[in-house]
Structure 1
Amino acid sequence: MSSGLRIADDLELPIDMVTEPIGILANRGRGKSYSTHVLVEEIHGADVPVVVLDVKGDWWGLRSSADGQADGLPFYIFGGDHADLPLEPTAGELLADLVVDERVSVVLDLSHMSKTKARAFTVAFAERLYHRNRDPLFVVVDEADVLIPQRATAETARLLGAMEDIAKRGRGRGIGMAVVTQRPQEVAKSVLDLMDTLLLLGVTGPRSLKSISEWISGHVDEDTTAHEVMATLPSLPVGTAWVWSPMQGLLQRVAVRRIRTFDSHATPKPGQKRVAPGARAALDLQALGERITATVEKAKADDPKHLHRRIAELERDLAAERSKPAPAPTVERVEVHVVPDETLEVFSGLAGQLLEQLATIDGRLTAAARVPTPLPSRPRPAADRAPTTRRRARPAGGSDTRGGPTPAAGQGAPSGDVRLRAGAHRMVEALGRMAPLRLTKSQWGTVAKLKTSGGTWSTYLSDIRRAGLIDETAAGYTLTDAGFDYLGGRPEPMTAAELQDHYRGILRSGAVSMLDALIEAYPDPLTRDELGEAVGLATSGGTFSTYLSDLVRNGLAERQDGAVVATTVLMHGADQ
């Protein structure tokens, strides 16, 4: 095993960095993929398996020498134009099992998949890898803005969680990773901020430079050196990188060494044809196929659905054997076909074993299942607090026994025994968690996950008013003291992050993209053109106006001198 990772003639990184998160950031054509290629060669040379998640389909050159005339590295290529074996969108867990069990290096070429399918494959692969791996392993996430997007949606939330687990806790499971992108501002900050080391090549975009500056300010004190590094990034020559690792006490400008395998990332210049290598490292695909078959069989053995089918087959066979009629007797000879006791015992034993396995697996799955609560609050002190709670009766008019004011006229008086249906209870809880803020009707309905235009809302609102639980003014709704009594006290206030995540889960994806753009820009407003550019929509279209209306109607954004800005309630929650 190599003693270090020599990425330049004058720089050898510690071998321990194979289990750390590394960010590789640069504009297109400035040496980003080339530098990552060098790092992969070094890590593979240290006998550590490498997995490349390849969105563009240009990592196949690892299999050939730099001049294309000899063998390269023994990477198995799944999917894409240069595949050894096909890559199915549903094979994420299978490929993770293969990598963990066989310790092979692979390129997972996702270029033939849609973004949706590529992300579905990646989330299954990443979750399984994190769950099972324990030995050193390095994962390259190329074009990370596709697989680790900054603007989270309901579809990508699980994927981001898997990537955050690898970046934050992967070291303890032997997993290092490289996050490679030309658009760092489009990569989830929750992952990019976790990078222990950055390789910074030529960067010119103001938003990209801002993301890098934010990483620097979060890892080192602002000083003259940091400003000098930032000032040089736009003019760095191709292939020149700043390697910055605060944990290692390292900041060095280097010329990345030349790669030893084929440069399949190079873009042909006008008049040139892409050169294809004439030789590739030979691999035993038959042996790999046998390993994959064994992996599949092992997965099937642990699959409850497969066990259900096998048990059903055994039970049908057993029933068929038992129901066979004895043949009609003849004068010469009487034959009765009977299933031997030994056969019946074998069938019964197999069925019993499979039933026991199924019960064990189903039990584990049930124990693992969790259903998140949409609006968590502090536990109530008494088990009978909701939906039925005994209440002190207040005297008519004046104040209650604690001296607080009674509800205003028309708002109802609290009954001695408050009984609310589940939907009405959710409405009360929503106001409690947002207190002391007053919610508009639309905001209240969105937080409580109820439509305010239907008869159900009116019915629930009448029940709550009659119980004297709400205080309503022209500014909006909040709870009375009786309302907080009904909840068993004041619940934990809803944080900004909790409120933002809540809206991300219920708004349409286009509105969520707008929401994230406004959150990122806050406290600065965005013009309509800037907002349209951020979410990739024409501002003259009806779709843009619909999504923006969703945000304004729900009190998440407000128009300000021809621009749009996130509201304070969205950015600060109940803590204002």
Structure 2
Amino acid sequence: MSKGLHIADNFSFPLDLVTSTQAILARKRSGKSYTASVEAEEMLENGQQIAVIDPTSAWYGLRSSADGQGPGYPVVVFGGDHADAPLDFRSGKQMARALVDLRFSAIFDVGSWETDEQIQFSFAFASELLRINRAAMHLFIDEADTFAPQLLESREQKKCLGAMSRLVKQGGIKGIGVTMITQRSADINKKLLSQIDILTVLRMSAPDDLVPPIKWIAANVGPDYAKEVEKALPRLGVGKAYVCSNLTGHGQYIEVRQRRTFNSGATPKPGEQRAEPKVLAKIDIQKLGREIAAAVEEQKQNDPDELKRKVADLEKRLAFGEGHISKERERMLVEQIQKMETDLTEAQGKLGEQESLISLFRERFNALSQHAPALSAVLRILDDRIDIPAAVAPTVELHTPVRTVMRELKLRPESEWPKPAVTSGQFSSPQVDVVGLDGPSRRVLAALADLEAMRIAPAPREQVAVFANYSHLNSKGLVNALGFLRTNGLIDYPEPGKIALTEEGRKVAPPISKPKTEREFHERLMGMMGGPERKLLEVLISLRSKSIDRAELAAKAGYGHLNSKGFVNAMGRLRTLGLLDYPTTGKVRATDLLFLEAR
């Protein structure tokens, strides 16, 4: 089964690249933006959100097919000659809010602006995105040396460098991955370069430009490999690259595949005119414009800073006009000021209430997470409208906190509560107490037990993360739990990127019965999914291994269009779980993991 982001015939990134940091370095016309566009295609194909800060005005080709005769991906272009909508250099904060609120992919063409205007937009955009984003997305920054330079020429540039540095260092926690692209590796900030996870380097020959990537490779992969790359770089052909990772400590030579979308950055040959695509993916820009305007207005109405500004403005106007306005006008202005002050007080009060609730929820969650397996049982019962599934009832033990909840809610008589059963098989061992076993560690054990019961063992790390309810692989809770479990001998890594329970781990994990039939397996899997994922799985399972058009799948699952947020997010989650695949462009099919006889 094909997985990951397929960049070359011999190489694929894991989907984790979406929330990782990368630099692509090369001399001009060596394929650096082309390589980044191929990565963007793969992310979009996997239902992920991307954004591009584009000073080159060359990214709009993602909207059209490679020959320019068909649609590409529905990425909204703001600004430039191919704009779906205009872009103002003062709108960075608003654009970040629109991306987070409405979850669409976008290209911000800033190529026609002065450098100071590009920096002002990028600073505001990056700062606001880091502040409010909480879902996976990837930001491509072309000509990154403009926004994160080694030598600072202005106060604004220093502020922008600070914003970019925070984005690279802290973005993963907020679900943001970053790719910095530049043809001037000597000019990009070296401290920022040292923080990246992945370095992709194409042809370059200038001695000053060679130094930064070679130092990075020597430190993160090894000096011998760095010498090999340094010797090869000046002679590399277009689109040929070395990909190095500080996460694995390895490097690999690749030849980047051909784009599936229009190469809008291609340089015309002498006597030729620059080609333009004839067909672009359709965007309902009027609807999107209304949604963006509504989102921005709603943010303004609830922004305490905006309310303060309005109050101050009214007070200035009242003071300036004192003695020159009528009594009625003065009365109206005073009422407006009083209303603004009341709104401000209410907004600040709501903010305080939200902070208190967040603190309370965090305390409750920490307490409840210790009983995650038992609470999971209650949630499954509730999700099935209080009908306990036959596959769950014989094996679920209701612990004391859960019994209290069931009793107070009067869900069903105690005589009908499920009782713990001793069954034959690998999960029949009594549970064992482990000192320091916290809520996150129990969630991981429960996820591995569920996967193993469904014959998915060893399980890919991304599947374990999703089944344990973590949004990304670098989550602190997940990383700490995996480290604790491995240190205590409860899990092992039999293959790279895959996790399995040990015999000791099975004794500690909650008892889970194996599904006896494929239908029972599907019912259990459906019980772990949300509503959107269940609708898609029902269609895909009915087709067995047959492919279906994305548009037809969306329609059969009850979605009006391919860009529906529920459809896109569900597709991405199922792909991450390895339950669906894209055999060809625009086609979807269920993977063999869904069918017991195929495994």
1:180 & 1:348 partners in 2: Cα distance? 49
2:76 & 2:42 partners in 1: Cα distance? 17
Q: Say if 1:307 and 1:358, in contact at 8 Å, map to a contact too.
A: no
- Deviation per CA, 1:272-331: give whole Å up to 9, x if none: 111111100111111111111112212321153445537987999xx9xx9669xxxxxx
Distance of aligned partners of 1:347 and 1:209 in 2 relative to their CA distance in 1, 3 Å threshold: closer
- Deviation per CA, 1:502-542: give whole Å up to 9, x if none: xxxxxxxxxxxxxxxxxxxxxxxxxxxxxxxxxxxxxxxxx
Q: Say if 1:2 and 1:45, in contact at 8 Å, map to a contact too.
A: no
2:10 & 2:197 partners in 1: Cα distance? 21
Task: Output aligned runs, 1:33-44, within 5 Å.
Answer: 33-44=33-44
* 2:342 alignment partner in structure 1: 353
Paired residue type of 2:227:
H
* 1:180 alignment partner in structure 2: 181
1:304 counterpart = 2:309? no
Q: TM-score, normalised by structure 1?
A: 0.55
1:81 counterpart = 2:42? no
Q: Say if 1:308 and 1:358, in contact at 8 Å, map to a contact too.
A: no
Report how far residue 246 of structure 1 moved: 3.1
Task: Output aligned runs, 1:132-171, within 5 Å.
Answer: 132-153=132-153, 154-171=155-172
SS of residue matched to 1:258: coil
Q: Say if 1:72 and 1:261, in contact at 8 Å, map to a contact too.
A: yes
Paired residue type of 1:159:
C
* 1:478 alignment partner in structure 2: none
Paired residue type of 1:36:
A
SS of residue matched to 1:61: helix
SS of residue matched to 1:209: helix
Identical pairs, percent = 38
1:251 & 1:179 partners in 2: Cα distance? 19
SS of residue matched to 2:186: helix
Task: Output aligned runs, 1:78-117, within 5 Å.
Answer: 78-117=78-117
1:63 & 1:115 partners in 2: Cα distance? 26
Paired residue type of 2:196:
M
SS of residue matched to 2:61: helix
* 1:371 alignment partner in structure 2: none
2:255 & 2:221 partners in 1: Cα distance? 24
Report how far residue 44 of structure 1 moved: 1.5
2:129 & 2:344 partners in 1: Cα distance? 29
Paired residue type of 1:356:
T
Report how far residue 121 of structure 1 moved: 0.6
1:2 & 1:311 partners in 2: Cα distance? 59
- Deviation per CA, 1:80-128: give whole Å up to 9, x if none: 1111111101100000001111111100011111000110110000000
* 1:540 alignment partner in structure 2: none
Q: TM-score, normalised by structure 2?
A: 0.53
- Deviation per CA, 1:32-75: give whole Å up to 9, x if none: 11111101111112222111100111111111110001101111
* 1:67 alignment partner in structure 2: 67
2:25 & 2:38 partners in 1: Cα distance? 15
SS of residue matched to 2:192: helix
After superposing the two structures, state which structure 1 stretch, 281-290 or 307-316, moved more: 307-316
Report how far residue 361 of structure 1 moved: 10
Task: Output aligned runs, 1:218-367, within 5 Å.
Answer: 218-223=219-224, 225-301=225-301, 302-306=303-307, 309=310, 350=339, 353-357=342-346
Task: Output aligned runs, 1:425-444, within 5 Å.
Answer: none
Task: Output aligned runs, 1:538-553, within 5 Å.
Answer: none
1:348 & 1:244 partners in 2: Cα distance? 59
1:211 & 1:11 partners in 2: Cα distance? 24
Distance of aligned partners of 1:176 and 1:351 in 2 relative to their CA distance in 1, 3 Å threshold: closer
Paired residue type of 1:102:
L
- Deviation per CA, 1:129-148: give whole Å up to 9, x if none: 01111111101010111121
Report how far residue 155 of structure 1 moved: 2.5
2:5 & 2:22 partners in 1: Cα distance? 13
Q: Say if 1:307 and 1:354, in contact at 8 Å, map to a contact too.
A: no
Q: Say if 1:2 and 1:46, in contact at 8 Å, map to a contact too.
A: no
Report how far residue 10 of structure 1 moved: 1.4
Paired residue type of 1:215:
W
Rg comparison, structure with higher value: 1
Distance of aligned partners of 1:349 and 1:149 in 2 relative to their CA distance in 1, 3 Å threshold: closer
Q: Say if 2:78 and 2:84, in contact at 8 Å, map to a contact too.
A: yes
1:196 & 1:260 partners in 2: Cα distance? 26
- Deviation per CA, 1:405-426: give whole Å up to 9, x if none: xxxxxxxxxxxxxxxxxxxxxx
2:273 & 2:312 partners in 1: Cα distance? 58
SS of residue matched to 1:288: helix
Q: Which runs of 5+ in 2 are unaligned?
A: 354-599
1:266 & 1:216 partners in 2: Cα distance? 29
Report how far residue 20 of structure 1 moved: 0.9
After superposing the two structures, state which structure 1 stretch, 226-235 or 242-251, moved more: 242-251
1:142 & 1:112 partners in 2: Cα distance? 14
Q: Say if 2:26 and 2:182, in contact at 8 Å, map to a contact too.
A: yes
Report how far residue 352 of structure 1 moved: 5.8
1:48 & 1:282 partners in 2: Cα distance? 18
2:304 & 2:347 partners in 1: Cα distance? 9
- Deviation per CA, 1:377-436: give whole Å up to 9, x if none: xxxxxxxxxxxxxxxxxxxxxxxxxxxxxxxxxxxxxxxxxxxxxxxxxxxxxxxxxxxx
Q: Say if 1:77 and 1:85, in contact at 8 Å, map to a contact too.
A: yes
1:23 counterpart = 2:12? no
Q: Which has the higher helix share?
A: 2
Distance of aligned partners of 1:90 and 1:271 in 2 relative to their CA distance in 1, 3 Å threshold: same
Distance of aligned partners of 1:186 and 1:355 in 2 relative to their CA distance in 1, 3 Å threshold: closer
1:137 & 1:58 partners in 2: Cα distance? 21
Paired residue type of 1:80:
G
SS of residue matched to 1:166: helix
SS of residue matched to 2:23: strand
1:122 & 1:129 partners in 2: Cα distance? 10
